[in-house]
Chain A
Amino acid sequence: MGESFAAVMPANAYNWIAVWRRNFLAWKKVALASILGNLADPITNLFGLGFGLGLIVGRVEGTSYIAFLAAGMVATSAMTSATFETMYAAFARMDAKRTWEAILSTQLTLGDIVLGELVWAASKSVLAGTAIWIVAATLGYASWPSILYAMPAIALTGLVFASLAMVVISLAPSYDYFVFYQTLVLTPMVFLCGAVFPTSQLPGSFQHFAGLLPLAHSVDLIRPAMLERGADSVALHVGALCVYAVLPFFASTALFRRRLLR
């Protein structure tokens, strides 16, 4: 078991790049539509909630509501773009399109493929998160240099949610099951993790629970960066996100092995 599990792990540090480049080539052909599709939703939320609700809410944690929300939308869009890329596009490559099957007949391992897919999904998160950050910075809700701190946090957020979604697709018999993960896990997380309102508004026990969720750690890294405040417990947040990225990677690779290599 141990030996055969080692055989599906990434064979080396660079094999995954070929998978990433395959996805990049496919994406280039539909880049414009993909970017617009990824941005429309978070930007609508940002302006709709930010301006509309912002009028009623007034200032939150010492800043305008839209500036508060902008960081939440950056984190949320990183989360959703990595999740959707993995749940729909990677699932199709694994299942109906048989792309993974083709790759498995070359010198790449299952681990190489999963790693390439994760980094690719994280790349799409960086694109989506950064685009919203640019909108926010242009409107003066984030400082330009803050991207230096925000970008690594966005990328890590993408890796985490790609990795978690990988576990979902390794178990899901078909697309129909993804909706449970969306509605029962992701949507509550947006409201529990301080993306749209401060977690201090939650009942005490919820606050403790929310503190364990990956999106909360992302928000706690990205918001202080965008608002140019010192972030607390950076090592804790980064460490927690790393655990959320790495453990599901091993779990999903093991599950894919059971599913694809019997």
Chain B
Amino acid sequence: MSTVAIDLAGVKKSFGDKVIVNELSFSVARGECFGLLGPNGAGKSTIARMLLGMISPDAGKITVLNEPVPSRARVARVRIGVVPQFDNLEREFTVRENLLVFGRYFGMSARKIEAVAPSLLEFARLESNADTRVAELSGGMKRRLTLARALINDPHLLVMDEPTTGLDPHARHLIWERLRVLLARGKTILLTTHFMEEAERLCDRLCVLEGGRKIAEGKPDGLIDEHIGCNVVEIYGDDPHQLCELIRPHARHIEVSGETLFCYTPYPDQVRVKLRGRAGLRILQRPPNLEDVFLRLTGREMEK
């Protein structure tokens, strides 16, 4: 068995004149959590759907779990679990019925589904909701059910398109914790996200996308070291361009986005000294994160 779970080589896709994915290549090892990070419209969902054979590339080669995609995507999908961006659970069915119906799509017998359902419900923390209709579940519970449903065929690979978008922080943390359990069990996860925090916490490696192009790839802390490698001071509350001139001597690099000034500097104390006495300024000093990497690479903040 190959150690590579997903391999893309020179993949291109356009809809009409619009280029959605442009010469994209990356590879995901088995057992790895790989993130596709980018703003809305970066091509993340298109890539996720291409891996499942739901969209055919115009050019390039895709291999998923050793199967060429899309030609043998159906065979690959037997060993893939999918968490789609938009809930497509059966709203009128109970939690248990959702698992039953979905298991049958994989050719599983009712007996087999009943045998695995309790552990999936436990995993998704839905034991006490087994007979609740999906329409009555909270957003976080629905997402966890979608996750449980994606595991019914005991997949090697999970493809998750924005798994925590629209969830409150508590529900999001619970999903993250569940995903770490899956990684510990050796599952491979490909997830798309526009949450930097999600990418930093979960992903072993990630690929930063903009406009369908890969603009960076690597481990989260590696990317942060490589592209930033120093402290960040966020300043707002005054004309950022004026402030810019003031602190430039002490900064390695400065970005202005909207009314906020991002000062990348190994000498944050000297920057603070420069700004002392200026009324109404809010100053926040923090370690660098992927948000800064994205800003550095694209000159703009990722929309939240």
Contacts and interface: CB of A to CB of B under 8 A. Distances in A.
A262 interface: yes
Given A97-B88, A107-B77, A4 B70 contact: yes
Nearest to A104: B54
Interface stretch (A17-25, A128-136, A215-223): A17-25
A56 B87 CA distance: 57
B97 interface: yes
Interface residue SS majority, chain B: loop
A111 B141 CA distance: 32
A159 B71 CA distance: 30
B188 interface: no
B107 interface: yes
Contacts, number: 73
Given A26-B92, A26-B93, A261-B54, A107 B105 contact: yes
Interface stretch (B78-86, B122-130, B212-220, B248-256): B78-86
Given A7-B74, A11-B74, A106 B106 contact: yes
A21 B101 contact: yes
A98 B56 contact: no
Contact of B71 (A3, A19, A21, A103): A3
Contact of A7 (B70, B78, B84, B104): B70
B70 A99 contact: no
A15 B107 CA distance: 7
Contact of A261 (B56, B88, B102, B105): B56
Contact of B77 (A4, A105, A262): A105
B238 interface: no
Interface in A240-262: 260-262
B55 interface: yes
Given A25-B101, A26-B92, A261-B54, A102 B84 contact: yes
A97 B86 CA distance: 10
Interface in B49-81: 52-56, 70-71, 73-75, 77-78, 80
Nearest to B77: A107
Interface in A71-112: 97-99, 101-109
Nearest to A21: B104
A7 B54 CA distance: 11
Nearest to A105: B82
A4 B107 CA distance: 23
A104 B147 CA distance: 16
Nearest to A107: B78
Interface of B: 15, 52-56, 70-71, 73-75, 77-78, 80, 82, 84, 86-93, 97, 101-102, 104-107, 153
Interface of A: 3-4, 7, 11, 15, 18-19, 21-22, 25-26, 29, 97-99, 101-109, 260-262
Given A29-B92, A106-B102, 9 more contacts: A18-B101, A18-B105, A19-B105, A97-B88, A101-B84, A102-B89, A106-B153, A107-B74, A262-B55
11 contacts: A7-B70, A11-B74, A18-B107, A25-B97, A26-B93, A99-B90, A102-B88, A104-B52, A105-B82, A107-B78, A107-B107
